[in-house]
Amino acid sequence: MIKLTLENLEDFTRGTAFLGTGGGGDPYIGKLMLKHQLELGKKIEIITQNEISDDIFACNVLSMGAPTVFVEKVPNGPTTLHALREVEKIIGKKFNAIMPIEAGGVNATLPLVVSALSGLPVIDADGMGRAFPELQMVTYNVGDVDINPIVAINDFYETAIFNARNSSSGEWLARAVCVRMGGICEMACYPMTAKQIKETAIHGTIKLSFDIGEIIQRARNEKTDPVDAVISYMAKSNPPRFGKVLFVGKIDDLIRETVNGFTRGKLFLKSLDSSDELLVEFQNEFSYAKLNNEKLLAMVPDLICALDSETGEPITTDGLRYGQRIKIVAISAAPIMRSKKALDLFGPRAFGLDFDYTPLEEI
Amino acid sequence: MIKLTLENLEDFTRGTAFLGTGGGGDPYIGKLMLKHQLELGKKIEIITQNEISDDIFACNVLSMGAPTVFVEKVPNGPTTLHALREVEKIIGKKFNAIMPIEAGGVNATLPLVVSALSGLPVIDADGMGRAFPELQMVTYNVGDVDINPIVAINDFYETAIFNARNSSSGEWLARAVCVRMGGICEMACYPMTAKQIKETAIHGTIKLSFDIGEIIQRARNEKTDPVDAVISYMAKSNPPRFGKVLFVGKIDDLIRETVNGFTRGKLFLKSLDSSDELLVEFQNEFSYAKLNNEKLLAMVPDLICALDSETGEPITTDGLRYGQRIKIVAISAAPIMRSKKALDLFGPRAFGLDFDYTPLEEI
């Protein structure tokens, strides 16, 4: 059992920003939403892998949209809960738990807000083990979990309910409504049984956020390097996750657009002590890093994170600014995310990139 | 009781093309769909105004999209019926009749196809008395008919079900899904009671299509002017509808785009015997006509129709071609469509035009 408190809240949201790999929106938003619930005395129960009983029936909840929009038009807990209730009405069955669809960004905190509002516990597992920009980019699709019904809702409680022929089509249709709802909407989809959760989700990712956030804070307190601390921690996890610093530099240029419901752009970094340059491209999240316009250093689904050079604080793509000094860190994705079927869902080609996946540790 | 037969089918679809005021897609599509049903021996019952019993509960069905798309990706009867059945499931009540949302174009024929497939009768009334491009542009909104639930469906039987805060928002959200469904989708919406139909619909518009189509054909047979014949007929209807020929000329230029789920463009005509020029702008349907870039000759909601100079055959905006010789005819809209509240829904400003409505007969 993991317990969220006012004391460990900041560690948690820092960890979600790390796993957000640039996407998922400003962690400050998620922190404020959860702080409010905790101050009201609400309890948030988090169920870990070996506590998942066979009768668990959980719904994924999330906010869809461009992180650049999230900071002005923040995700809405009550409408998200309403979306979950709409799914219940359609399938004629009550949920007894909530799933985060992704482990990074505001979507890692929103399910906990819905938990506080509803009293339903949250499963410590998700479909991405990080953040990805699109609905179909979940390990649930390595198994055969049905995304339907997909409920999208806005602040007016207007709903759009989709029954799509597959999750990619669900993403395609729902994204258009998301844009028309103002670039953000709340959603509920992928209703899942205990068996489906056990077989297709990535487990322990809420715990991982707490740990990463805490390790960064501890390193700061101990005046050691927070980035090194995270890489060491990941290497000792089970299974071990390989990590390395790809680049240290300052932001030399930044192209960022909010387009078709995504934040898309390119981050250009210059080394502080050589002529090296790094390009990191993003669609909400960082998708690949390329050195001197020729050598790929890391790519999806491996995690690429931008951290403040001094404090190790994760920086989201909507928070990038010219002149910032940052470290780009990469961490290998969980093994379940590297199968052929998984790479079809969220490998480089799923992002429209013209190269195949090479694991981080082989580069 | 009106009876559709293989003999009067062409008159009917010609009339719907006239009331389509340029929009609604090629009438040939509607004709083929109905011909197929009639050849299968299907009966289509059409209920006229004084036959509407108090227990009537009807659903509007339509195809949303750009007429330029309709000719390649034709409207689908079975999916439209499925959309109607989805509305029944949501509201928990069966329909016993079908309503056309508009009197023009393919959407005037599609409800008859659904009637043939389901056995449900069609009400001889609609919400536009012509064709309009957007969902909220119906006289139902002069009363307070709820557009919800709105069901959109495509050829894969994928559905999007909207619960919108008003009909304009329903249009805004559904149009985005329509575009992602390939520029066309079938829909069911505006469930209506007998009372609502009696109070807010425009009655007798199916009959009107039969009459207009027949009058054009008869004038051809009798070697008289089909356009004059239609204008005379409209003047004698109850209430009388004023009509006139605005312009006779040939198409000198044509700008036509399929954009955001609509066919938008400008038609430029040159007179055959003077230097006069006419501009007719369209959003699916013709919205206004302007002489020599200065004088407005007609505007929505009055009907503007393009007819072949010789045969009087209505020409839809997707069928316009350089060099065609056409007559532009205008007919005054039904009185119910000229109230302040109605003009807010489908007067010039509702189309983003920067002028107020002037009735055709006052110009």
Per the listing, tokens 């080394």 go with A271
Closest CA to A120 of A205, A50, A60: A60
CA distance B259 to chain A (A): 15
Q: What is the tens place of the pLDDT at every residue in B107-129? A: 999 999 999 999 999 999 999 99
Q: Are strands A45-47 and A295-299 parallel, antiparallel or unpaired?
A: unpaired
User: Distance of CA B196 to CAs A101, A144, B95, B141, Å?
Assistant: 44, 46, 14, 10
**How far apart, in whole angstroms, are the C-alpha atoms of residue A337 and residue B224?**
75
- Residues near B319 by Cβ (< 8 Å), separated by ≥ 6? B26
**How far apart, in whole angstroms, are the C-alpha atoms of residue A243 and residue A282?**
20
Closest CA to B105 of B236, B13, B188: B13
- The number of residues making up chain B comes to 363
Prior bond to B149 cis, omega within 30?
Answer: yes
Element (H, E) at A63: strand A57-65
CA distance B281 to chain A (A): 26
pLDDT of residue B70: 87
Q: What is the tens place of the pLDDT at every residue in B280-338? A: 999 999 999 999 999 999 999 999 999 999 999 999 998 899 999 999 999 999 998 99
pLDDT of residue A27: 83
| Domains of chain B: residue spans and CATH | 2-203 (3.40.1610.10), 225-362 (2.40.390.10)
**How far apart, in whole angstroms, are the C-alpha atoms of residue A122 and residue A101?**
11
Q: Are strands A125-126 and A150-153 parallel, antiparallel or unpaired?
A: unpaired
CB B97 within 8 A of CB B186: no
Q: What is the mean pLDDT of the segment spanning B61-87?
A: 94
Using CB atoms, pick whichever of A156, A161, A172 lies closest to residue B161. Answer: A161
**How far apart, in whole angstroms, are the C-alpha atoms of residue A98 and residue B332?**
58
Prior bond to A335 cis, omega within 30?
Answer: no
Closest CA to B303 of B229, B352, B234: B234
pLDDT band at B339 (very low <50, low <70, confident <90, very high): very high
**How far apart, in whole angstroms, are the C-alpha atoms of residue B297 and residue B304?**
10
- Residues near B53 by Cβ (< 8 Å), separated by ≥ 6? B194
| Residue B157 burial (C-beta neighbours within 10 Å; 0-12, 13-18, 19+) | middle
Contact B176 A172 (CB under 8 A): no
Contact A158 B179 (CB under 8 A): no
pLDDT band at B71 (very low <50, low <70, confident <90, very high): confident
Using CB atoms, pick whichever of A158, A163, A176 lies closest to residue B180. Answer: A176
Mutate to test the interface with B, among A159, A165, A171, A260 (most CBs of B within 10 A): A159
Question: What would the two tokens of residue A316 be?
Answer: 């989201």
pLDDT of residue A20: 94
Q: What is the tens place of the pLDDT at every residue in B340-349? A: 999 999 999 9
Which residues does chain B have within 8 Å of residue A65's beta carbon, measured at their own beta carbons? none
Reported in sequence order, the residue ranges of chain B that DSSP labels E, i.e. its strands, are 2-3, 45-47, 57-65, 97-100, 122-123, 125-126, 150-153, 159-163, 184-193, 202-203, 243-259, 262-271, 277-283, 285-291, 295-299, 303-308, 325-331
Question: What would the two tokens of residue B320 be?
Answer: 């316009």
Question: What would the two tokens of residue A347 be?
Answer: 């490998």
Q: What is the tens place of the pLDDT at every residue in B154-167? A: 999 999 999 999 99
pLDDT at A252 over 90: yes
Tell me the pTM. 0.95
Name the residue of chain B whose CA is nearest to A181's CA: B173
Q: Are strands B45-47 and B122-123 parallel, antiparallel or unpaired?
A: parallel
Q: What is the tens place of the pLDDT at every residue in A88-107? A: 999 999 999 999 999 999 99
Which residues does chain B have within 8 Å of residue A169's beta carbon, measured at their own beta carbons? 156, 158
